[in-house]
Amino acid sequence: MPDLIRWAILGAGRIARKFAADLAAVPGARLVAVGSRSGERARALAAELGAPRAYDSYAGLAADPEADVVYVATRNHAHREACELALATGKGVLCEKPFALDAMEAAAVIGRARARRCFLMEAMWTRFIPAVRQWRQWIDSGRLGEARLLQVDFGFRAEPDPRSRLFDPTLGGGALLDVGVYAVSLASWLFGPPTRIESTACIGETGVDESVGILLDHPGGRLSLLSASIRLDTAKTAVVYGAEGAAWLSCPWWKARAARLEPRTGHPVQIDHPFPGNGYQFEIQEVHRCLAQGQTESPVMPLAESLEIMKTLDAVRRRWSS
Ligand SMILES: NC(=O)c1ccc[n+]([C@@H]2O[C@H](COP(=O)([O-])OP(=O)(O)OC[C@H]3O[C@@H](n4cnc5c(N)ncnc54)[C@H](OP(=O)(O)O)[C@@H]3O)[C@@H](O)[C@H]2O)c1
């Protein structure tokens, strides 16, 4: 691995700060710049995080002479523009979820990255969490027999606020894009793209989907039952069933610190994988590994799959928006 990967953070909001805290703990990572639409916010964040440079525009940050990779931490509707600015100057990009607002945007960004031969990855950090990898390994090794049914929920309670990114349709709000994407991504990772998609949603007063239910058919008679909400605190579980048992992730499953195997016969097994911080360090390590090996995408979160996931999200929305 190179001794040092130099990061820049684009967008000075909540997730930028949480990500930066984990970045600081990854060996070989250095934060060299932050950028915001506001110079004041950029300087405040740079001072808070000890970043040497602060830019008052996303274009300025993208042109930083030192950064190897830009972490795109803007609200959903601004992901595309931010990614394209960074890719245009030859930077690698780690882009927050959802990767884009729709599949058309996703395809455009992927096209830019490929044309520039730049690294690009959707920040689907759950895939890199050690307990989640353990869970996947049990499934792949046939410990459940053939995995047939995935049940996942991701719901939390927020108060409706038309100014919040969660409830503003123009900012890419709604349960599906905010948290449903995690469930759809997990289903895609385990079972591949769906062959049939059913969905229904509760649309709130601001016009966004506040709760959504999704049923996916996958090849080989496999099913995913998914739900997401920004109005309801749900159980936050993920479990996959096969004829020979079940495998659970500890709650909340998207940052699980343990995985549990319950075989039909024999004793349950629980494996604990505690970690410090928020859990973003594992995706950061994957970016470092890819850059060190000259890979322009991650085999764990490949671009073709990010595009497929956006297509699934588009199809889900078509079920209730027409
Ligand atoms: N991985 C995770 O666990 C996780 C958790 C939460 C959120 N997220 C994702 O991270 C992204 C940011 O979420 P957040 O909670 O950090 O959001 P936030 O604090 O509300 O906003 C993030 C930043 O977006 C920028 N932005 C760009 N255009 C904007 C506009 N027109 N209006 C307002 N802000 C605008 C702002 O940066 P400047 O004003 O500095 O330019 C703002 O600080 C979202 O895509 C979300 O889905 C991921």
Instruction: Name the average pLDDT for the chain.
Output: 97
Task: Respond yes or no: is residue 97 known to be catalytic.
Answer: yes
Average of pLDDT values for 190-217? 98
Question: Which domains does the chain possess?
Answer: 5-125 (3.40.50.720), 130-274 (3.30.360.10)
66 pLDDT higher than 80: yes
Q: In the chain, at which residue ranges do the beta strands (DSSP E only) sit?
A: 5-10, 29-35, 53-55, 69-72, 92-95, 120-122, 147-155, 196-203, 209-218, 222-229, 238-242, 245-249, 258-263, 269-272
Average of pLDDT values for 72-100? 98
96 close to ligand 1 (CB < 6 Angstrom):
yes
Residue 256 phi/psi, 5-degree rounding, is -60, 140
37 close to ligand 1 (CB < 6 Angstrom):
yes
118 pLDDT higher than 70: yes
pLDDT digits (tens, 9 = 90+) for 233-264: 999 999 999 999 999 999 999 999 999 999 99
Helix axis angle, 130-140 to 181-191, nearest 10°: 40
Residue type, 159: E
Q: Whose CA is nearest to atom 6 of ligand 1?
A: 15
CA of 54 to the centre of ligand 1 (A): 17
Q: Whose CA is nearest to atom 4 of ligand 1?
A: 15
CA of 96 to the centre of ligand 1 (A): 9
170 pLDDT higher than 80: yes
pLDDT digits (tens, 9 = 90+) for 140-166: 999 999 999 999 999 999 999 999 999
322 pLDDT higher than 80: no
Average of pLDDT values for 69-88? 98
pLDDT band, residue 1 (cuts 50/70/90)? low
Q: What percent of the chain has pLDDT over 90?
A: 98
The pTM (predicted TM-score) of the whole model is 0.98
41 close to ligand 1 (CB < 6 Angstrom):
yes
91 close to ligand 1 (CB < 6 Angstrom):
no
160 close to ligand 1 (CB < 6 Angstrom):
no
CA of 79 to the centre of ligand 1 (A): 9
Average of pLDDT values for 117-143? 97
137 close to ligand 1 (CB < 6 Angstrom):
no
pLDDT on residue 3: 82
pLDDT band, residue 321 (cuts 50/70/90)? confident
Ligand 1 atom closest to the Cα of residue 178 is 47
127 close to ligand 1 (CB < 6 Angstrom):
no
Is residue 45 within 8 Å of residue 17, measured between CB atoms? yes
Is residue 229 within 8 Å of residue 235, measured between CB atoms? no
pLDDT band, residue 316 (cuts 50/70/90)? very high
CA of 314 to the centre of ligand 1 (A): 21
97 pLDDT higher than 90: yes
pLDDT on residue 2: 63
pLDDT on residue 275: 98
Average of pLDDT values for 117-136? 98
Name the residue of 22, 41, 49, 165 to mutate for ligand 1: max ligand atoms within 8 A of Cβ. Answer: 165
CA distance 284 to 301: 13
pLDDT digits (tens, 9 = 90+) for 43-62: 999 999 999 999 999 999 99
Tell me which residue has tokens 């949603």. Answer: 201
297 pLDDT higher than 90: yes
41 pLDDT higher than 90: yes
Q: Could you say which of 91, 97, 255, 311 is catalytic?
A: 97
List the strands of the sheet with 238-242, edge to edge. Answer: 196-203, 209-218, 222-229, 147-155, 238-242, 245-249, 258-263, 269-272
Q: What percent of the chain has pLDDT over 70?
A: 99
